Chains A and B, each alone.
Chain A
Amino acid sequence: MSATAGSVRPVAVATSVAAVLTTLAGMGLSLPPLRVLIEQSMVWHMLVQMPLLVLAGWCAAAAWAPARGLRWNRYGLSGFMLAQCIAAYWMIPALVDRAVVLPSADAAKLATLWLAGLALRLGYVQAPPLVQLFFIGYGLPMMAWLGLYLASTDLRLCNAYSLESQTRAGWGLVGLAAALGMAWLLGHVGKGATRLTGQVIAVDDDFTAARPLVK
């Protein structure tokens, strides 16, 4: 919990609480008695547990990561890259199956998706909008494309789930991608459209002003 000048900031407390709760919920879904949910439903697995774990890592970074930018993460590139790699890995149907069947793969899933959330947040806060747009601009379409494919194919791509479950998860992924895209856009509309382009030029000023590397 971060305290400034002796007083505890309510936002920081709320984020810390959210980080703990989402972590517990995300991990709890891999243990009995809740495990049956992710074993039987692709929606619970890919649209509840996986996003919860990412959200948990995100909240943890928001609550506890130092505010100053990291040297090896300029423009948030490293954070985005790590999050993207982990997300791509867990979108592969064979690996979703593995996480259902193999406890070791499931443990790896819990750890890496949490880490992906953390990395995403560290990337996001250090990235200018253009870099954000670049990663979001291919990450979310990738998710939506996978969703459409899951929803429209007659092939069962995961041996662990029924076709019906796969179809629902597919539409869910499309919805999630759309919702995340809208959320990102709305977050920037508030700041004004000019800032989106304006900041591209003044990227570094903003970067150093917000998080000075050298005091």
Chain B
Amino acid sequence: MNTEARDPLHGLAGTFAVCLSVLAVGLTAIFQATAGGTAFTTETLRRTAVEQAPVAVPDYPVVDAQGQTHSLRSLLGKGARVVIVDFVYTRCTTLCLAMGTVFQQLQAQIVEQGLQERVGLLSISFDPLQDQPPALAAYAERMRMQPALWQLVSLRSDADRRRLLDSFGIMVVPAPLGEFEHNAALHIVSPQGQLVRILGPGDGDVSLELARSLAAVPQPSGAQ
């Protein structure tokens, strides 16, 4: 017999060294991919990233319920308003309906607190094929949107839709019964057109508070 058989620990040092190296590399990789072990889903990563470094919202032509074309930037940087943005499709019967309710509550609160000049709401449809102006108008009616406060727009082209969703980090996936599923959230866009925070659909109150404090900061001679 050899020495290995007599001493079970013989030659284990090399194995331990390899194990520790593997573990170190593995943990480093996981640490790096999860923002230091704090974010294990794409959604949390997206929120963390935006919180650390705001993203400029790109500009695309959008159509409103009246069929008029605007530039997205003009809707976002209007006055010194902070805009809370969400993504919807008007046929939705599940999550966006809940988002719609959140936005309805926000609309009521904004009116109640007299914040119309400082906080606005914008719903962007990610379904440009279905959501033509008549569908938008019907949805606006159903949601009792106040046009000065809460706007609903659709994109002109599928390519624009893709790029805008990418810039916000929204993924839309087909779901049963012709529905879509997507990461629903409240996106806070500063008067300068920067996406500064992303909050969960249930954080309506927090988002309004945040939007109000952002809007309260005096802007150097105002945006446009």
A interface residues with partner B (beta carbon < 8 Å): 40, 71-75, 77-78, 81-82, 85-86, 88-89, 92-95, 97-98, 101, 155-164, 203-205, 207-208, 212-214
Contact = CB atoms under 8 A, between A and B. Distances in A.
A21 B41 CA distance: 33
B23 A85 contact: yes
Main secondary structure of the interface of B (DSSP, over half): helix
Nearest to A207: B4
A85 B22 contact: yes
B181 A213 contact: no
B26 A89 contact: yes
Interface in B174-219: 174-176, 181-183
B19 A213 contact: no
B26 A164 contact: no
Contact of A78 (B4, B8, B11, B15): B15
Interface of B: 1-2, 4-5, 8, 11-12, 14-19, 22-23, 25-27, 29-30, 33-34, 39-45, 171, 173-176, 181-183
A204 B183 contact: no
A44 to B, nearest CB: 14
Given A94-B39, A159-B171, A81 B22 contact: yes
Contacts of A95: 33
25 contacts: A71-B14, A74-B11, A74-B12, A74-B15, A75-B12, A77-B16, A78-B15, A81-B19, A85-B23, A85-B25, A88-B26, A92-B30, A92-B40, A94-B33, A94-B34, A94-B40, A156-B181, A159-B42, A159-B43, A159-B171, A159-B173, A160-B173, A162-B176, A163-B181, A204-B5
Given A94-B42, A162-B173, A164-B176, A208 B2 contact: yes
Nearest to B30: A89
A107 to B, nearest CB: 15
Given A74-B11, A77-B19, A213-B2, A94 B171 contact: no
Given A71-B11, A72-B18, A81-B19, A214 B173 contact: no
B22 A92 contact: no
Contacts of B1: 208
B50 to A, nearest CB: 15
4 smallest CB-CB distances across A and B, nearest first, come from A85-B26, A159-B171, A74-B15, A78-B18
A81 B106 CA distance: 51
